[in-house]
Structure 1
């Protein structure tokens, strides 16, 4: 049996590794395509890109691992069935559960490892990725000049060039507006020159030839007193300080998102949010009653108030003058509007806190549900491969994508209901597993009993009596219709 176990493990590990890297590559390309606008034109070095790719890959493992497991299990058992190796093992008296035993043990190890990945590695990668993306977003675009178009990427300065030689990078017909100093505005015109960023990207190095400088000196009374000076130069060098063009890393890596926390941190976050909700409700009730409803009794304790008695408000208003009645209505309307604004603010803050709580609870349940979903996908894929008996990347990919799309749609729907507060976090996250688990048990049972559930001839044979009965009924109906038509003639 050890030889059989080694043979099955060897047949499974190869497709598992291959499909995992293929799935991760596809998901990573999708991630980079979604963020391509934030990365292009920033002049990022290869080290920064590789680091971002590594962090993004770690965050995509919870999505890629179940799909890779499903695809690899279908491919492995399909190849064994297509090459009649599975049939030979069964003929030797080895049942399908015994054939799958080493794979089940291997998948248990993978499930335990996936828990530590999603609980420890994925939150760490999320924190690093968010911090890195924030630093990238702060970096300015590269300085690229276009002929005849002003470049305004430098604060308080505008640069226009007539033409740029792509081989020598020589610029001609240069115009620079310098508004860095309000009291000393400059306009520089040059026939040619060179403009580049220093190696440390902290300065703009400008070298100009054959030009003129128009400088306007003005004080706070520039509309009465201002001076305009004119200078000619054969060669002029400028050193302009820059900020934001060099990639700078921020020191902090903290993020309050639930995706960046492990189960222990999520548990603490959930308890804190629940306590915050309770305090918000208590404080809202106290302030609304004491500060808005019983406004004139704000200094008294609510428990010390006397029992309320019924008063005829209409009778009291009838005894008032028109001016006094308008004043009462105006004051009451203002107090009611103030209470409404306060209620809207508190309800919005309560809604925001509830969304954070639902998201944290969903992420907590997701860390537990991932290992089970991987095992469920294996129990779906292995029997399917044994039943279909088709290897390669054709039929397994089609079947895998169908099951994964169903799983993904159910999961996304459940998470949406959880975030909206319609479902509990447990049911919203586990509903996909509860739906797919009976399918896995059914397929395992059918494959163990060698049931041909995908064989059209088997279904045709079972439906043959019904088809024959239907044909007889149709022939009798036609004969009855012809007989009735003949009698009418």
Structure 2
């Protein structure tokens, strides 16, 4: 029976406080990232505070489901990182409580957040998405705030270019004004020059009232009598004061929602399913109509009688019909007519198919968008649980709290998730991948990571051990480290020089015989490498014997011997014989041709390296034997 324990309450409190803080941090980061995408639509539009507040409110509601997974990842990682850093996690395990038992309260909370995320995306998120999309469209359509610069032509006013040489910021007056008005064609152009002026907005914010002083007005005049000539009459007017009304809508009006009626992001699960059925029905009927129309035109079958069929069959069996021969008998005019007719038919058919493909592809795109959004709501909610099983085990493994390493790891995991999810979305949207495959790409990659980290954390396995991965890397690529042998300051047991000398001499003789019989330069046998393993008894005896001799001689006080012991290569006993220890793995590798070929070349490389190593061993053996003889003859 599940009972709430004090440990569950303690961990839940730790997690809850961190989750609230990290949620608002993640929400702020996502809002800034979203705002950066549309900053051009906000700057210079003169939007009021209430409009901006409504914009940020809907944007925050829209980004809540995206902030939840990242907040769970970061807060769970910090929670168990703090417990591990303060040794509380060690005390929990020492009390006989497994890591999964410590997780259970947070698992329940994560499941509740998943349910909350689905509810939010189904009830609150669609309305916030719809209103935010309408506000963005309205912001794009809104006229920019009137800010006339000095010394350049300003074209922010419709049908007018305004030039101001100087502005008085205190009084709002403009000096050295030049206006080019282009309300229609060339005959309607006007140029207005004024010594000074003042620009004000009307009360309804639909027009601008421009008051000019001491200026002249030059305007082309439309004339029906001179319509065909190059001369265009104009009028000139001098004025002391003049008022001009300019069209300039600076008010903010929310656009009609019909423009985003097909946006799946503004719909709930029920609406998405309903609209998908409607779209499929509509475009299926369009496709059926296209098919019926084509059957009457391009794919119409001529009605023939039985006698016509028999006559056609008789002609086909008695004489061959060659299109090229029939075309060659045509006159030049008939050939041109036939080619022109064929090209026109093909061009007409191509245009018709392109037009129809635009309509059908648009329908397919809308249906795919609805399916993608339906799946995305589920995968985004499940990512909360996936991120918990990544963050909590990682926190228990790294045992580091705070906002340092946990934040770095969380950012890297979230970047990986974002890249995979965005790539899958784009491929699914374009139709190159199926919907479920594209939107399940990120969970399919992160779930094995979560299982791996959870398994490692529950078994206290080492994950972030650089030496372990470096050793695996060296073994995979056949890399070796140098033999580190240094002269000892204190030697307890002196080397057995006489025995070592005899063994080195015997080893050199065996190496000479081994090199002569095995011929390591030759390519190894494919059958022996993968199917019929034959152990190399000589090397299995020489390599351990050499290590024993090196271990014994490392107690020597002779510097020459110590230096040359470091020259001995680190050799493997079986690396040149077969790829794997298990026979069935070797057989599988041989069947998989690319892998088998790579492993075969690897075996050959090891044989060549073994030949070089044996030569080095022979050389070093001779040098050390000479030093041992010198020591024994003293």
TM-score, normalization: structure 1? Answer: 0.86
Using the TM superposition, give the Cα deviation of residue 386 of structure 1 relative to its aligned residue in structure 2, in angstroms. Answer: 0.9
Q: How far has the Cα of 1:78 moved from its partner?
A: 0.4
Paired position in structure 1 for 2:173: 170
Whether 1:269 aligns to 2:275 is yes
2:209 matches 1:205: yes
Pick closer, same or farther for the CA change 1:157–1:426 going to 2, 3 Å: closer
**Higher relative contact order (CA closer than 8 Å, sequence separation 6+):** 1
Per mean C-alpha deviation after superposition, the further-off stretch among 274-283 and 7-16 is: 274-283
SS where residue 298 of structure 2 aligns? helix
Distance 1:130 1:245 in 2: 20
2:297 is paired with a residue whose SS is helix
1:22-421 to 2 correspondences below 5 Å: 22-178=25-181, 180=183, 187-214=191-218, 218-221=222-225, 226=233, 228-233=235-240, 236-252=241-257, 254-294=260-300, 309=312, 312=321, 314=323, 317=327, 321-421=331-431
Query: Equivalent of 2:447, from 429, 437, 448?
Result: 437
CA distance in 1, matches of 2:362, 2:351: 17
Q: Decide whether aligned partners of structure 1 residues 366 and 228 sit closer, same or farther in structure 2, where only a CA change above 3 A counts.
A: closer
Cα deviation code 1:103-128 (max 9, x no counterpart): 11111110001011222322222211
Cα distance change, pair 3–331 in 1 and its aligned pair in 2 (3 A): same
Q: Distance in 2 between matches of 1:444 and 1:127?
A: 39
Name the SS for the 2:257 alignment partner. Answer: coil
CA 1:156–1:427 in 2, change beyond 3 Å: closer, same or farther?
closer
Q: 1:177 touches 1:187 (CA, 8 Å); kept in 2?
A: yes
The verdict on how the C-alpha distance between 1:398 and 1:244 changes in structure 2, with shifts beyond 3 A counting, is same
Describe the SS at the equivalent of 1:292.
coil
Greater mean alpha carbon deviation, residues 98-107 or residues 437-446: 437-446
TM-fit CA distance, 1:291: 1.2
8 A Cα contact 1:361 1:425, kept in partner: yes
SS in 2 for 1:163: strand
* Aligned residues of 2:262 and 2:366 also touching (Cα < 8 A): no
Quickly say closer, same or farther: Cα 1:245–1:452, change in 2 above 3 A: same
1:179–1:415: structure 2 CA closer, same or farther, 3 Å change rule? closer
For this pair of structures, how many residues does the alignment match?
479
Closer, same or farther: CA 417–202 of 1 in aligned 2, 3 Å: closer
Query: What SS is found at the alignment partner of 1:392?
Result: coil
SS of the aligned residue for 2:406 comes to helix
**Aligned-residue offset at 1:74:** 0.3
After superposing the two structures, state which structure 1 stretch, 285-294 or 435-444, moved more.
Answer: 285-294
Return the match for 2:15 from 4, 12, 17: 12
Contact 2:272 2:370 (C-alpha < 8 Å) held by counterparts: yes
How far did residue 331 of structure 1 move? 2.1
What is the SS of the residue equivalent to 1:208?
A: strand
- TM-superposed CA distance for 1:68, in Å, is 1.6
Contact 1:123 1:260 in 2 (8 A): yes
Which range is displaced more, 213-222 or 373-382? 213-222
The Cα shift of 1:293 comes to 4.6
Structure 1 consecutive aligned stretches of length 4 or more whose deviation exceeds 6 Å: 181-185, 457-463, 465-471, 484-487
Question: 424-433 or 275-284: which moved more?
Answer: 275-284
Deviation at 1:460, TM superposition (A): 9.3
Q: Is the 1:138–1:244 Cα contact (8 Å) retained in structure 2?
A: no
Measured against aligned partners, the alpha-carbon deviations of 1:282-305 in whole angstroms (never above 9, x if no partner) come to 44444334313549x6xx8x9x9x
Q: CA deviation at 1:413?
A: 2.5
How far apart, in 2, do the equivalents of 1:460 and 1:359 lie?
Answer: 45
Which of structures 1 and 2 has the bigger CA Rg?
Answer: 2
CA RMSD of aligned residues (A): 3.6
